[in-house]
Structure 1
Amino acid sequence: MNKQTLSFQAEVAQLLHLVTHSLYSNQEIFLRELISNASDACDKLRFEALNDSALFEDAPHLEVRVAFDKDAKTLSITDNGIGMSQQEAIEHLGTIAKSGTRDFMGKLSGDQKQDAQLIGQFGVGFYSGFIVADRITVESRRAGLKAAEGVRWVSGGTGDFEVETIERTARGTCVILHLRDSAEEYLNNWKLKSVIAKYSDHISLPILMEKEEWRDGELINPGDENGGRQPGSMLKTGEWETVNKASALWTRPRKDVTEEQYTDFYKTISHDSQAPLTWAHNRVEGSTEYTQLLYIPAKAPFDLWNRDKKAGVKLYVKRVFIMDDADSLLPTYLRFVKGVIDSSDLPLNVSRELLQESRDVRAIREGSTKRVLSMLEDLAKHDRHDAAAATADGVSDAAEVVDADDQAKEGKYSQFYAEFGAVLKEGLGEDLANRDRLAKLLRFASTTSDAVRVGLADYKARMKEGQEAIYYITADTLAAARNSPQLEVFKKKGIEVLLMTDRVDEWALNYLHMFDGTPLQSVAKGAVDLGKLQDEAEKKAAQEAAEAFKPVLAKLKEALKDKAEDVRVTTRLVDSPACLVVQDDGMSTQLARLLRQAGQQTPETKPVLEVNAEHALVKKLDGSVHFHDLAHILFDQALLAEGGLPQDPATYVKRVNALLV
């Protein structure tokens, strides 16, 4: 009836080839993915039925059934969830949205077991069935449609698939895997139960399998008591039993959940192959009641910086699934957090619009944010303890005085910060209420620390006597920051400077002017003023040099009037002839460059050129016949040193070549 053959989207065909020819080393993940899909289908029905209870038809109890037929060599996963119409089957099983396969291919490492774990991350879990099957049949009917509007989808995992209309009385979907000879181990009750217990035990829906019992073989010669028996076998009884705990993991007491179960649950909801760094499981009571199970991943997802990617935790209300990616329950800068929040106070028909305005949601958001920050503070505390111990004699005895749980956390914050530190900084501008807590969690490279990143509290604790500011510099790369001419006087005096190289740093620091009462000062803004760190003799020498250099300064200002707002003598340079800075209230050249790269308009501003009056090249300016060319070369070289490009690179090259000749 209405049978048609259609071709797969090109990317699906590419994925199927990969699945059927490469990802065999971790076969059992196919069952995890198909049961997860079945559970999602039931959750979707439960959600849609909030507004239309007729969708339950005559089967209000949602479940997933797993069955096998040894003779036919088939394994079926059946749910009575939302089901699919014919058009939905074509769209969902024949295409992948947003080039998911291309991203999938880009993440492959060559390790088959690790690569197989990636498959769920890209919305392509259904196709993992072809790891064990040479043909898949899907029979489905969407809730609310007539029995005559069922659909059968069949494919051998090659270039096309068949779709036809069928009569199907049961609501929901049945996925029938026609197993390869190499996958016959899944035609075994014990094997299937063990895989379900490993990957799907937490699913709140009952997963049912038909009971089996041992039956002795018949006597070979009934008239002879010693005639022997035929081999016994396991036979199905016709009764179905629940083979998972069928209770949501987050609803169980913490003492009843093992670390392995927490980890397996995280891997299921996040499609991550690695264990999380840490997690928090709490029941919050008060004016707003909810349960939270929140995880901090160990690795950043491939689409962390994709602005269109939905992110957030799973929202349940009274254990009823409401939505994935509930982004209103955590601020955007914590979009890497995975987990579940189950509320007792929200209405069951909650919508995204209501989430944005609800008082209860605001309470959940604030509570969950504080919980995540507490987890990070706990990790950071152990990292700092580790670093302090390592500086004493180069050997740490700390492990002897901390418990096993503390030891497990050592080094994890550094791992977290390397993956998510740049995202965390966004919170300085987004979350004013927690800005001080976030500032204490930030870590930076510095001029005196290579391997260990420095926190602002640690920096302040070792500031020099008389130092009145926390100094920092921003740059495109760590090498550019570390070798910037603007750091020369600070290195000479042994003053530590923080090196900030994340693209978000310039924006974030607009919201962080003070830390614990100490101002943050960019070494590339304003005239250098080291205050009490600069002695009177140095100040007097600088004033005399500036006075003697006034005639040359006047000529430099005239020559560079189209490029520089001002030209002045500086004390910040030791080995370099010149550098660029901006006024205290001006936009840094680094930020202006980043905004232009992002396609945004920036105000027309000119930097200040500071020159080292003691440098041989600067001294040579006075009376030089090449004054104009040297002046422009000084400016362009200063621009290059801080990561910029001359407005006219060709002219710069000509000037340098002329002087070289």
Structure 2
Amino acid sequence: MEKNKGNISIHTENIFPIIKKWLYSDKDIFIRELISNGCDAISKLKRLVTLGEANIDENQKYKVLVTVNKENGTLKFTDNGIGMTEEEVKKYITQVAFSGAEDFINKYKDRIDDDKDIIGHFGLGFYSAFMVAKRVQIDTLSYLNGSEAVTWVCDGGTEYEIYPSEDRKERGTTITLYVDDDSKEFLEIYKVREIIEKYCSFLPTEIYLEEEGKEEKEEDKKPLNDTTPLWMKSPKDCTDEEYKDFYKKVFLDFNDPLFWIHLNVDYPFNLKGILYFPKLKHELEATEGQVKLYNNQVFVADNIKEVIPDFLLLLKGTIDCPDLPLNVSRSFLQKDKDVMKISKHIVKKVADKLIGLYKNERENFNGFWKDIQIFIKYGCLRDESFYEKIKDIIVFRKLNGEYITLKEYLEENKEKHENKVFYVTDEKQQSQYIKMFKEANLDALVLDCSLDNHFISFLESKEAGVTFARIDSDISETLKGDETEELKDLNEKIENLFKEVASNDVKEIKVESLKNSETPAMILVSEQSRRMAEMSKMFGGMDMPNMFSEERTLVINNNNPIIKKLTNVSLEDKERINLICNYILDLALLSNKELTSQEMDSFIDRSNKLLKLVIDL
């Protein structure tokens, strides 16, 4: 067989069903596409005026008008842009995927510095109209002197009609959609308004919406969009109040943001935007971030992870990048190495902002920490390069409320417990341990963020030799007192007394001499077992049994007066001894964790019995 060459053919009768069903991910996108086309037509005309190619009144007000006529079942999109001649209609409309925008850019490429304000690229946006329309009509008049208005009509097949237009008298284009019966929701004025506000809130041309035949007051005729969004301005020209107002308007949040980052990059790619750090009422709000992605001021989607790393999606903001390699529907990103560069640049800018705050506004940075710590810690866990950038500005709150870095904590405590970091997760629940630590002139860090269990494991893997221990997991040597021979002799007797009452909650019993003589006993929880139990609970879910349980040690303080006296009680009074030992165990458990309902019942019952003993005395 000889080698032959040929051309791939497209069966045009099948192209419209494909466009209608598969080209766009969301049906309502047709409104975005047709309005974008109108904005492009106006942008082209403005360029021609600038180049001296079109003689148009420069003070003329440009706009795109969307008109709903529910009674007639039509939706119109009208612009006063460049318009089209009959030849151009045949060229741009009847040739599927022939981009008028690209053709315009190529025609004037030697005289145009950039094409950032031209939205269209694929020549397919117009055909999105057929997703909802059984018939589409174009009436257009070119800006060129002597041009005749043209009407083009198509019923969604491969045939069309084109003839002189009797309706179009002014320069520009009107696209009329005769809406299908299964798409009547797009004839509701509130629905169209909602879609325009979603996709077109920041398009560069004013957009108006009206109901045909309905009179509107002049003061009600306001554009639905902001043609100059704040991110398009230079940061030096924006005030704090403008940033706050923009945040509240876009994200419907009545609270002021903590701070923001204004991105303004021209090289090696075009990127503008504002990222806000919201003030959280509670940690769960951190999962409700929203970063809106725009392409030439056209909304694309929320929270695109290819551009915005998932840990930055805890924030709220807008990103506009004309250089994004979008697919033909402008709904998803194509895989591209430049996307990774953009993503890394955004991460770098966020890190730079945090470092600048730490160095120049340390007091404010510390004040923000409670709200931003979950974002920073999650970022470190998800992106090690982010951790490497900001590791020296991660702060922790001490027991006295001051903020300190890990390096500073280790330096302050190296003589007391070198490379060991004590921490607290619940200041109220662990108050007994905190009291003992303070009396011994020891300090601990408060780690009460939901991510801290993972974060400290991450830090241990990154900081050589450093280990974290919760305040109830270990007795520092500083907490221990001197043990005399007399106390040593009591240890075995004390241990035996408590062995008889120890519950399943206690794996081991130890007798120690503590400086704090007021505490009869305390519970220690193995750091490793507790972390494993928490991980098991988190990943196993509520309905699954935990594979790991916390290992608890009961430490009896032989320096406590009650414990000393307990050893002198007659062994024949066993019921009384057991009651007191059980009660001491209850108190130790109570200071370490919340009692279960059954444990609480037992504790109250023993309390009542002890009160009765006191009264009987």
User: Which TM-score bucket, shorter chain as reference?
Assistant: 0.5 to 0.7
Structure 2 residue 447 is matched with structure 1 residue 500: yes
Asked whether the equivalents of residues 202 and 229 of structure 2 are also in contact (C-alpha less than 8 Å), the reply is: yes
Q: Distance in 1 between matches of 2:200 and 2:328?
A: 28
Given candidates 480, 483, 491, the residue that maps to 1:541 is 483
Asked whether the equivalents of residues 576 and 612 of structure 1 are also in contact (C-alpha less than 8 Å), the reply is: yes
Asked whether the equivalents of residues 559 and 628 of structure 1 are also in contact (C-alpha less than 8 Å), the reply is: yes
Structure 2 residue 90 is matched with structure 1 residue 60: no
Give 2:600's aligned amino acid: P
Given candidates 300, 312, 318, the residue that maps to 1:322 is 300
Larger Rg: 2
Asked whether the equivalents of residues 281 and 292 of structure 1 are also in contact (C-alpha less than 8 Å), the reply is: yes
Q: Distance in 1 between matches of 2:525 and 2:71?
A: 63
Q: How much does 1:623 deviate? A: 5.3
Q: How much does 1:641 deviate? A: 0.7
Structure 2 residue 488 is matched with structure 1 residue 557: no
Query: Which residue of structure 2 aligns with residue 42 of structure 1?
Result: none
Structure 2 residue 490 is matched with structure 1 residue 509: no
Q: How much does 1:631 deviate? A: 2.9
Query: Which residue of structure 2 aligns with residue 519 of structure 1?
Result: 466
Q: Distance in 1 between matches of 2:452 and 2:314?
A: 19
For the structure 1 residues 259 and 544, does the alpha-carbon distance in structure 2 shift closer, same or farther, using more than 3 Å as the test? Answer: same
Asked whether the equivalents of residues 333 and 426 of structure 1 are also in contact (C-alpha less than 8 Å), the reply is: yes
For the structure 1 residues 369 and 419, does the alpha-carbon distance in structure 2 shift closer, same or farther, using more than 3 Å as the test? Answer: same
Query: Which residue of structure 2 aligns with residue 337 of structure 1?
Result: 315
Q: How much does 1:323 deviate? A: 0.8
Give 2:530's aligned amino acid: M
For the structure 1 residues 584 and 275, does the alpha-carbon distance in structure 2 shift closer, same or farther, using more than 3 Å as the test? Answer: closer
For the structure 1 residues 50 and 569, does the alpha-carbon distance in structure 2 shift closer, same or farther, using more than 3 Å as the test? Answer: same
Query: Which residue of structure 2 aligns with residue 631 of structure 1?
Result: 581
Q: Distance in 2 between matches of 1:498 and 1:508?
A: 14
Query: Which residue of structure 1 aligns with residue 139 of structure 2?
Result: none
Query: Which residue of structure 2 aligns with residue 270 of structure 1?
Result: 251
Q: Distance in 1 between matches of 2:560 and 2:228?
A: 75
Asked whether the equivalents of residues 250 and 281 of structure 1 are also in contact (C-alpha less than 8 Å), the reply is: yes
Q: Which stretches of structure 1, 4 residues or longer, exceed 6 Å deviation after superposition? A: 46-55, 81-87, 163-166, 240-245, 350-354
Asked whether the equivalents of residues 83 and 141 of structure 1 are also in contact (C-alpha less than 8 Å), the reply is: no
TM-score by length of structure 2 reads: 0.59
Asked whether the equivalents of residues 30 and 131 of structure 2 are also in contact (C-alpha less than 8 Å), the reply is: no
Give 1:270's aligned amino acid: F
Given candidates 518, 522, 536, the residue that maps to 1:579 is 522
Q: Distance in 2 between matches of 1:79 and 1:645?
A: 66
SS at match of 1:374: helix
Asked whether the equivalents of residues 423 and 469 of structure 2 are also in contact (C-alpha less than 8 Å), the reply is: yes
Name stretches of at least 5 consecutive residues in structure 1 with no aligned partner. 1-45, 66-76, 90-139, 152-162, 176-195, 211-234, 387-410
SS at match of 1:273: coil
SS at match of 1:620: helix
**1:42-88 residue CA offsets vs partner (Å, 9 max, x unmatched):** xxxx977999999967993149x9xxxxxxxxxxx98549999999x
For the structure 1 residues 641 and 589, does the alpha-carbon distance in structure 2 shift closer, same or farther, using more than 3 Å as the test? Answer: farther
Q: How much does 1:565 deviate? A: 0.9
Q: How much does 1:383 deviate? A: 4.2
Given candidates 224, 231, 238, the residue that maps to 1:250 is 231
Given candidates 392, 406, 409, the residue that maps to 1:459 is 409
Query: Which residue of structure 2 aligns with residue 613 of structure 1?
Result: 558
Q: How much does 1:496 deviate? A: 1.5
For the structure 1 residues 372 and 610, does the alpha-carbon distance in structure 2 shift closer, same or farther, using more than 3 Å as the test? Answer: same
Q: Distance in 2 between matches of 1:244 and 1:277?
A: 26
For the structure 1 residues 445 and 323, does the alpha-carbon distance in structure 2 shift closer, same or farther, using more than 3 Å as the test? Answer: same
Q: How much does 1:358 deviate? A: 5.3
Query: Which residue of structure 2 aligns with residue 426 of structure 1?
Result: 378
Query: Which residue of structure 1 aligns with residue 263 of structure 2?
Result: 282
How many corresponding residue pairs? Answer: 452
SS at match of 1:649: helix
Given candidates 509, 529, 542, the residue that maps to 1:567 is 509
Asked whether the equivalents of residues 263 and 272 of structure 2 are also in contact (C-alpha less than 8 Å), the reply is: yes
Asked whether the equivalents of residues 293 and 341 of structure 1 are also in contact (C-alpha less than 8 Å), the reply is: yes
Asked whether the equivalents of residues 377 and 441 of structure 1 are also in contact (C-alpha less than 8 Å), the reply is: yes
The share of aligned pairs that are identical, in percent, is 20
Asked whether the equivalents of residues 259 and 276 of structure 2 are also in contact (C-alpha less than 8 Å), the reply is: yes
Query: Which residue of structure 1 aligns with residue 422 of structure 2?
Result: 472
Q: How much does 1:609 deviate? A: 1.0
TM-score by length of structure 1 reads: 0.55
Structure 2 residue 359 is matched with structure 1 residue 381: yes
Query: Which residue of structure 2 aligns with residue 367 of structure 1?
Result: 345
Q: How much does 1:658 deviate? A: 1.5
Q: How much does 1:302 deviate? A: 7.8
Q: How much does 1:446 deviate? A: 2.5
Q: Distance in 2 between matches of 1:495 and 1:58?
A: 66
SS at match of 2:325: coil
Query: Which residue of structure 2 aligns with residue 223 of structure 1?
Result: none
Q: How much does 1:613 deviate? A: 1.1
SS at match of 1:339: strand
Asked whether the equivalents of residues 202 and 247 of structure 1 are also in contact (C-alpha less than 8 Å), the reply is: no
Give 1:456's aligned amino acid: L
For the structure 1 residues 78 and 465, does the alpha-carbon distance in structure 2 shift closer, same or farther, using more than 3 Å as the test? Answer: same
Asked whether the equivalents of residues 315 and 323 of structure 1 are also in contact (C-alpha less than 8 Å), the reply is: yes
**1:383-414 residue CA offsets vs partner (Å, 9 max, x unmatched):** 43x4xxxxxxxxxxxxxxxxxxxxxxxx2x24
Query: Which residue of structure 2 aligns with residue 401 of structure 1?
Result: none
Query: Which residue of structure 2 aligns with residue 640 of structure 1?
Result: 590
User: What is the 5 A alignment of 1:195-210?
Assistant: 203-207=202-206
User: What is the 5 A alignment of 1:105-184?
Assistant: 144-146=133-135, 147-149=177-179, 173=192
Query: Which residue of structure 2 aligns with residue 651 of structure 1?
Result: 602
Give 2:133's aligned amino acid: G
Q: Distance in 1 between matches of 2:192 and 2:602?
A: 70
Q: How much does 1:514 deviate? A: 7.0
Given candidates 422, 434, 437, the residue that maps to 1:487 is 434
SS at match of 1:435: helix
Q: How much does 1:173 deviate? A: 3.9
Q: Distance in 2 between matches of 1:299 and 1:487?
A: 29
SS at match of 2:418: coil
Asked whether the equivalents of residues 474 and 505 of structure 1 are also in contact (C-alpha less than 8 Å), the reply is: no
Asked whether the equivalents of residues 292 and 368 of structure 1 are also in contact (C-alpha less than 8 Å), the reply is: no
SS at match of 2:609: helix
Q: How much does 1:246 deviate? A: 3.1
Asked whether the equivalents of residues 278 and 315 of structure 2 are also in contact (C-alpha less than 8 Å), the reply is: no
Q: Distance in 2 between matches of 1:570 and 1:455?
A: 33
Q: Distance in 2 between matches of 1:164 and 1:372?
A: 42
SS at match of 2:483: helix
Name stretches of at least 5 consecutive residues in structure 2 with no aligned partner. 1-22, 43-62, 76-128, 136-176, 210-216, 613-617
Give 1:205's aligned amino acid: P
Query: Which residue of structure 2 aligns with residue 294 of structure 1?
Result: 274
Q: Distance in 1 between matches of 2:348 and 2:203?
A: 28
For the structure 1 residues 241 and 366, does the alpha-carbon distance in structure 2 shift closer, same or farther, using more than 3 Å as the test? Answer: same
Query: Which residue of structure 1 aligns with residue 120 of structure 2?
Result: none
Asked whether the equivalents of residues 445 and 454 of structure 1 are also in contact (C-alpha less than 8 Å), the reply is: yes
Give 2:567's aligned amino acid: D
Q: How much does 1:313 deviate? A: 1.5
Give 1:267's aligned amino acid: K
- What RMSD, in angstroms, separates the aligned Cα atoms of the two structures? 5.2
Q: Distance in 2 between matches of 1:379 and 1:499?
A: 22
SS at match of 2:262: strand
SS at match of 1:586: helix
For the structure 1 residues 519 and 206, does the alpha-carbon distance in structure 2 shift closer, same or farther, using more than 3 Å as the test? Answer: same
Asked whether the equivalents of residues 524 and 553 of structure 2 are also in contact (C-alpha less than 8 Å), the reply is: yes
Give 2:37's aligned amino acid: P
Q: Distance in 2 between matches of 1:341 and 1:82?
A: 31
For the structure 1 residues 363 and 85, does the alpha-carbon distance in structure 2 shift closer, same or farther, using more than 3 Å as the test? Answer: farther
Give 2:351's aligned amino acid: L
Q: Distance in 1 between matches of 2:229 and 2:488?
A: 74
For the structure 1 residues 346 and 617, does the alpha-carbon distance in structure 2 shift closer, same or farther, using more than 3 Å as the test? Answer: same
